[in-house]
Structure 1
Amino acid sequence: MSTTKAEDVTPSPFTNDEMRERLRELPPSAKLVAKVLEDDEPLSQGQLADLSLLPDRTVRYALNRLEETDLVDSRYSFRDARKQVYYLTA
């Protein structure tokens, strides 16, 4: 039987009131991309498009909006330095 301590569970960034308030003003595509990043991060733009079922162009727009509100940041991938991966900052 497995037991999980409360401190072992990572709290969801969406429980943060400030993050929820900033997300409220964003388009639905940005909210979906943020939710996908909550579950699996860091992810490339292509991976986000695959997981969210959104077109590449829509994912790019969503990422730009999330970066403008400082909810998402990016870095170069450790696996492939030609790609950028995105992650939640909250």
Structure 2
Amino acid sequence: MSTTPEDGSNQGKGEDSPLADPDFRNQLRELPPSAKLVAKVLEGSSPLSQGQLAEESLLPDRTVRYALNRLEESDLVGSRYSFHDARKQVYYLNS
């Protein structure tokens, strides 16, 4: 069930993880639980598409979309077009 990151990296693992940063955690603390879960999934493997995030988090697509919007508004998550499919965006944690 686990999806692999698009570029083969595991950005966010270990001490370099944005989730280890106290400022990042304080901003995340103010967000809804769905946003926290999406951030945690992105910590484990990113970048991921919205569909991959829904699959990994077991959240509905609509909830993932809401969580991503909240994370992007707080500048905790960034996005770019997929290298594999330019029609899709992939998401990653901002450092």
TM-score, normalised with respect to structure 2? 0.83
Task: Confirm or deny that 1:68 pairs with 2:73.
Answer: yes
CA distance in 2, matches of 1:10, 1:51: 22
Structure 1 residue 15: Cα displacement: 1.2
Task: Structure 1: state its 5+ residue gaps.
Answer: 1-8
2:79 is paired with a residue whose SS is strand
Task: Confirm or deny that 1:84 pairs with 2:89.
Answer: yes
CA distance in 2, matches of 1:76, 1:12: 22
**Residues 10 and 79 from structure 1, CA distance in 2 versus in 1: closer, same or farther, beyond 3 angstroms?**
farther
1:34 is paired with a residue whose SS is helix
Alignment correspondent of 2:51: 46
Higher relative contact order (CA 8 A, sep 6+): 2
Structure 1 residue 10: Cα displacement: 5.0
Structure 1 residue 52: Cα displacement: 0.2
Overall identity of the aligned pairs, in %: 74
TM-score, normalised with respect to structure 1? 0.88
CA distance in 1, matches of 2:77, 2:22: 16
Q: Work out which of the two has the higher radius of gyration on C-alpha atoms and give 1 or 2.
A: 1
- The number of equivalent residue pairs is 82
Structure 1 residue 14: Cα displacement: 1.2
